[in-house]
């Protein structure tokens, strides 16, 4: 089935691969991206699986080609300071000010492989909302989705 999935990915300019958990989506994606010489692969998955996706991809591609996009709301003040290039503990800004600055900086980073979860993706793109946010989130959380562009 993995060979068929790679053929499926290579035969299309854009597509969604939504296989069952544990059947080798990262292998299928990696082989297709390498064989197809794709410039950009967007992986949308539950937040809890972003690091797992990165670790799986690193079997096939260099770490420098992989970017995980995170949300800023759950970051501590020292994490925000470090992220924005301030000396940790030396910024005179409040956490709220740092959070606003981080969001304004728009830290979407283009790379060959971009891993993001849905609730972070909507911070960067205006998506059509045909389902309620909760229903859409449940749909995404229960069915890992991968799309390459």
SS (H, E, C) 77-121: HHHHHHHHCCCCCCCCCCHHHHHHHHHHHCCCCCCCEEEECHHHH
Q: Which residue has the higher pLDDT, 138 or 75?
A: 75
Judged against a pLDDT cut of 60, whether residue 131 lies above it is answered with: no
The confidence score (pLDDT) of residue 75 equals 82
Report the alpha-carbon distance of residue 82 to residue 86 in Å, rounded: 6
Report the alpha-carbon distance of residue 32 to residue 149 in Å, rounded: 12
Q: Is the pTM of this model over 0.85?
A: no
Strand 113-116 vs strand 66-68: parallel, antiparallel, or unpaired?
parallel
């Amino acid at each position: 089935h993995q060979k068929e999935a790679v053929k499926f990915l290579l035969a299309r300019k854009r597509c969604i691969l939504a296989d069952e958990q544990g059947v080798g989506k990262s292998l299928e994606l990696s082989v297709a991206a390498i064989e197809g010489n794709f410039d950009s692969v967007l992986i949308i998955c539950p937040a809890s699986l972003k690091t797992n996706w990165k670790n799986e991809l690193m079997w096939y591609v260099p770490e420098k080609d992989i970017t995980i996009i995170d949300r800023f709301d759950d970051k501590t003040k020292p994490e925000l300071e470090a992220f924005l290039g301030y000396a940790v503990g030396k910024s005179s800004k409040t956490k709220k000010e740092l959070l606003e600055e981080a969001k304004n900086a728009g830290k979407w980073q283009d790379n060959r492989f971009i891993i993001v979860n849905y609730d972070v993706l909507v911070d960067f793109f205006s998506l059509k909302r045909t389902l309620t946010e909760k229903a859409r989130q449940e749909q995404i959380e229960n069915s890992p989705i991968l799309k390459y562009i």
